[in-house]
Structure 1
Amino acid sequence: MSATFSGSSHIIGPKWSRIPLLTTGVLGLQIVWSVEMSYASPYLISLGLTKSLMSLVFIAGPLSGLIMQPLVGSLADRSTLRWGRRRPFIVAGTLVCVFGMMLLGFTRHFSNIFTSPLSHANDVLTIILATISIYLIDFSINAVQAMDRALIVDTLPSGLQDLGNAWASRMIGIGHVLGFFIGGISLAQLPFLSVFGKTQLQIFSVLTSFILAATHAITVIAVREKRLLQEPTSEGSRSVLKVFADLWTGVVTLHPIIRRICIIQFFSWLAWFPILFLSSVYVGDFYRAEHSMAKVIRDVSDEIDDAANLRGARAMFFNSLLAMTTSIIAPWFISESDPEEPQTAAWYKPKIHIATLWAVSQFLFGICMAYTFFVRTWQEATVVVALTGFSFAITQWAPFALIGQVIHDNPAAVPVPNEPETQALLQNSSSEGYPDETSRQVSPIRRRSAERGSNDSRSRSRESRISERSGLDDGDVHKAGVVLGIHNVFVVIPQFVMTGISSLVFAILEPGKGLEDPGAEVPGSSPGALHALNVRVGPGGTRSDSLGIIYRIGGVSAIASGVLAFLLSRQLQRRSTLPAPTT
């Protein structure tokens, strides 16, 4: 049984503002991530939590991505709430995340309510509440992120999927830049912000909560969703077991193109994990290595550590700045969704398929990781980290745009010409809240599928059988939540894999040293000179480059993902140039 909907998906407001309004919430998400990445670890350490236990706390990130995005996506796909399928989950997840952010910033205040200040019980409760806040933030923000992405797929037609996800990538870049910029300001010293708290974390938590709530309020108010009246199956069960059964069915019967995108993402995110979580350490340790003698001659350990942390944060800021710039400029070079679109300025506007650009970005990413073999200074390390911002912007854009196009271009969901539904599709205009140009951006795959339906009924029935095997039938075309949730599983699992690989590399090259002992001494070297994770000067000036090795392992994986993305690009371009079959 097909899904039954009422109303139409559209965005209110002037045409130029509709896609920015749709993706504004993504900006708030990234600022939340920047707060957690910048302040959560030092705060937990300051509370007395050991680094070995802290690693268990931060498993919440990939764990929540593995569970929440597929689960919430499936539940939202089946939701029959009157306000739509995505926005109620966005509101609920945002409220939970705001509570988690406030709990993180004011953990000590909450624990003082139930225990005596300065007592051992107070310290223990503070650590427990801080840990709970991290899990609340990670699980809720992953749910909101899944709905933000699904809302783009639901609301925009195929011809605007690349532009919509490009705007999401821009919001990610802006959010990163704002997060690192605001985090680098001493907020506690600004008098007009003292009303929000006494510490940097407290003030930043309040500001971030406000930005997260405000940006998603804009999206929720501006977007109008279709309402699901009847689920695509006659079964009314919504149990968790049923949800996970549906997810497993979705994985097994995933559309071949989306399956390839997921595999590319798996190899890609094997490389991204160390860059996103360890780059500041990588840059900072080179700085510590260059100033190790100063720490021995003069008691300036704290000053050098602070300066090293600043260099690491600055490298991530440059990375975010390049990512934001790329997300603004790159869509200008992407070929139109419809090859029949008039090319009025082709002489100055070069074109490239979005999958090809994705492949190129992965190749450049792999080259950057390979160059870590030659890095010797913190300045060179900064350049390498910063350059990966280009590839990160494409990674946050291309796969989501391609998935959205595949969902919309599924032949089984396309009515045949001369039927009322087809005429409505081909004559789509701003009445649904999109720019007038949308009517010209019907995908060539969709158009040719409709032509084949009118010319050959046997072709149409064959496409229906293929669609049943691919997992995207006439009802499943609306299940963006499930598809994006499955896609996120392929993004999250590499984080677990790379964590294991990193631990193995550290165990082999630096036995007995690791995250739990970052200040350990090395025989024959300056005491406490270097961080145990990365660069360490040993007897005779030898150097152990554990993080560099991990980066280069990731570089090989990035090259592999680039090759797969290039093959996908050739397949998609061949498909777009195939002539319609004749009877």
Structure 2
Amino acid sequence: MSSWAGQPSVKGSSEAMRMMLLTFSSVGMTFTWGIEMTYCTPYLLSLGLTKGQTSVVWIAGPLSGLIVQPVIGVISDQSKSKWGRRRPIIMAATLIVVCSLLALGFTKEIVSFFIADKQSAKVPTIALAVLALYATDFAINAVMSCSRSLVVDTLPAHKQQAGAAWASRMSSIGHITGYGMGAVDLVSLLGTTLGDTQFKQLTVIAALGMLASSSITCWAVTERILISVKQDSRRAAAQAGRFRVFSQIWSTLLTLPPRIQAICWAVFWSWIGWFPFLIYSSTWVGETYLRYDVAEDAKNSSDPLGDMGRIGSMALTVYSLVTFLSAWILPLFIQAPDDESFTHRPPASIAPWIEKFNKVKPDLLTAWFCSHLIYSAAMFLAPFAASFRFATVLVAVCGLPWTIAMWAPTTFLGVEVNKLGAGEPASGSYRRLSVSSNIEITDRSSGSGSGRLDHVSDAHAPSAGSNTGELSGVYFGILNIYTTLPQFIGTFMSTVIFAVLEPGKSPELATDAHPSEHHGTDGPNAIAVCLFIGAASTLVAAYATSKLRYIP
């Protein structure tokens, strides 16, 4: 049994406020992701890269997720910092994100400080932009890993769905804010104080937002402090040596409980479908606009990157609005995974109506299954979009399944990880501190106004106990492996499709390219083809999700 000091707590006078503060770091993360998804692809194209080269650059996302989240998860699981296991890493990684975003936005200015000749500076500018993008992705994955684990560490099993729902809500706020700002001409609105282009200003705002949101969560949450870790001889031997972190990841990966493994496979197939949407959807809407909706003489804009980014941001603003509403409304219409014992009794006057309503409410697994089908149906229509309005509608529809895609896997994994430690039979080494059923985030009337999580202390815990979320870091890291591996598949798929259908530079952005480097716009849009193939993969995810119901 591991030894711990202190009690976890979250500041706030109500449960809603504590949930909001606990998950507030999601706002900055999704805001930053939104800026990346909207502007980085056209930004890289504007520097002179082809779409095929850009798809290779985007391997940064899956590579960082594959390496960073499992490793950071294991490292944070074993951290004995006096500030807690997760928060120091969250703040350190956030500072790296801030510096990387500023370097990404002001790449040309940084390079021109050392190299005056524009032609000579072209390659270093591309190199610095790619390096900054990689650093941003690697660091933000560290923040994401520890933020997810912080929620699992803090909440008992019956609160995991509520925690995941609140994280989804905070994410939707970040999305709608980021896409909304991207759709506005910030240079005209704010002047050139934060930069003379839309992209520069957005990177500055994203850096400030990331710093603020992470700081708020770290300020609001107090973690238990890990004093010592006791491990059985088999696991200690597996972790011996220089590569003990990777040994723990590998040994845990090989002994995943059946339900956790099923969750991972459903995520794997769904992310083959989601990856091209997340990376290229705004660019696809912008290209559709330039192909079908803009007069030929209006295409020679002085800022095609800004034009395409704003059109894409408009579509993603509508998408994020759907995501925002879904994140707040859907939890009211979906049953909790398994916790009828914690359902509050409604007033007697409306109890019969509530009872009837609860009987027809779908559970989260059914909602997850249906979300796969909705996404597939929308993206199967992508190659037939001949108007940016229709493309915008398809993107907006995907807001609903994306909400559930961010909510369901983390909920089910959080519940399973907590169950593993509550004495239920399953493979794996995770054990939970308290098996009592009355763990709540309780209101405190003391001066601090914080809500303490009344876990049983080590001195009085059952002999089978260990800390809630003791190994949540490694399990969420493994889930992220199943999230990132399909992104490599998606990157390879995109590279091949772009090489075949659009081998030259983007005609919308590479205005100085030689005519031989341009491709025509009469054939199918390459991004739309990627979305179509991804839709087929999501059907497989729906099948994998349906099987989860029959696994004990």
What TM-score comes out, normalization by structure 2 length?
Answer: 0.83
Aligned residue number for residue 196 of structure 1 = 194
Cα distance in 1, alignment partners of residues 450 and 89 from structure 2: 27
Q: 1:239 to 1:33 in 2, by over 3 A?
A: farther
Q: CA RMSD in A?
A: 3.5
Q: How does 1:337-356 map to 2 (within 5 A)?
A: 337-340=338-341, 341-342=343-344, 344=346, 345-348=354-357, 350-356=360-366
Q: How does 1:528-547 map to 2 (within 5 A)?
A: 536-537=521-522, 544=524, 546-547=526-527
Aligned residue number for residue 371 of structure 1 = 381
Point out the structure with the larger helix share: 1
The alpha-carbon deviation at position 519 of structure 1 amounts to 3.3
The alpha-carbon deviation at position 412 of structure 1 amounts to 5.3
1:544 match: secondary structure: coil
Given residue 369 of structure 2, which amino acid in structure 1 is its aligned partner?
A
1:5 match: secondary structure: strand
Cα distance in 1, alignment partners of residues 415 and 121 from structure 2: 53
Q: 1:438 to 1:358 in 2, by over 3 A?
A: farther
Given residue 327 of structure 2, which amino acid in structure 1 is its aligned partner?
S
Q: 1:568 to 1:116 in 2, by over 3 A?
A: closer
1:228 match: secondary structure: strand
Aligned residue number for residue 82 of structure 2 = 82
* Conservation of the 8 A alpha-carbon contact between 2:11 and 2:220: yes
The alpha-carbon deviation at position 122 of structure 1 amounts to 4.7
1:229 match: secondary structure: strand
Cα distance in 2, alignment partners of residues 497 and 100 from structure 1: 26
The alpha-carbon deviation at position 269 of structure 1 amounts to 0.7
Within the alignment, does 1:171 sit opposite 2:170 as a pair?
Answer: yes
* Conservation of the 8 A alpha-carbon contact between 1:157 and 1:408: yes
* Conservation of the 8 A alpha-carbon contact between 1:413 and 1:474: no
Cα distance in 1, alignment partners of residues 384 and 111 from structure 2: 49
Q: Which whole-Å deviations, capped at 9, do the CAs of 1:240-297 have from their partners, x for residues lacking one? A: 61111111111101121111010000110111112112223333444344358x42xx
Q: 1:130 to 1:373 in 2, by over 3 A?
A: closer
Cα distance in 2, alignment partners of residues 374 and 197 from structure 1: 38
The alpha-carbon deviation at position 329 of structure 1 amounts to 0.5
Within the alignment, does 1:495 sit opposite 2:483 as a pair?
Answer: no
Given residue 394 of structure 1, which amino acid in structure 2 is its aligned partner?
I
Structure number with higher relative contact order (C-alpha < 8 Å, ≥ 6 residues apart): 2
The alpha-carbon deviation at position 507 of structure 1 amounts to 5.2
Which has the greater radius of gyration?
A: 1
Q: How does 1:211-290 map to 2 (within 5 A)?
A: 211-233=209-231, 235=236, 241-290=243-292
Cα distance in 2, alignment partners of residues 56 and 372 from structure 1: 23
Within the alignment, does 1:7 sit opposite 2:16 as a pair?
Answer: no
Cα distance in 2, alignment partners of residues 127 and 55 from structure 1: 14
Given residue 162 of structure 2, which amino acid in structure 1 is its aligned partner?
L
Within the alignment, does 1:359 sit opposite 2:360 as a pair?
Answer: no
Aligned residues: 512
Given residue 280 of structure 2, which amino acid in structure 1 is its aligned partner?
L
Q: Any stretches of 5+ residues in structure 2 without a counterpart?
A: 347-353, 426-431, 455-461, 509-513
The alpha-carbon deviation at position 112 of structure 1 amounts to 4.7
The alpha-carbon deviation at position 63 of structure 1 amounts to 0.9
Q: 1:241 to 1:408 in 2, by over 3 A?
A: same
Q: 1:228 to 1:106 in 2, by over 3 A?
A: same
Cα distance in 2, alignment partners of residues 437 and 88 from structure 1: 20
Q: 1:373 to 1:140 in 2, by over 3 A?
A: closer
Cα distance in 2, alignment partners of residues 239 and 85 from structure 1: 22
Aligned residue number for residue 559 of structure 1 = 539
Cα distance in 2, alignment partners of residues 106 and 90 from structure 1: 25
Q: How does 1:33-52 map to 2 (within 5 A)?
A: 33-49=33-49, 51-52=51-52
Cα distance in 2, alignment partners of residues 310 and 177 from structure 1: 14
1:483 match: secondary structure: helix
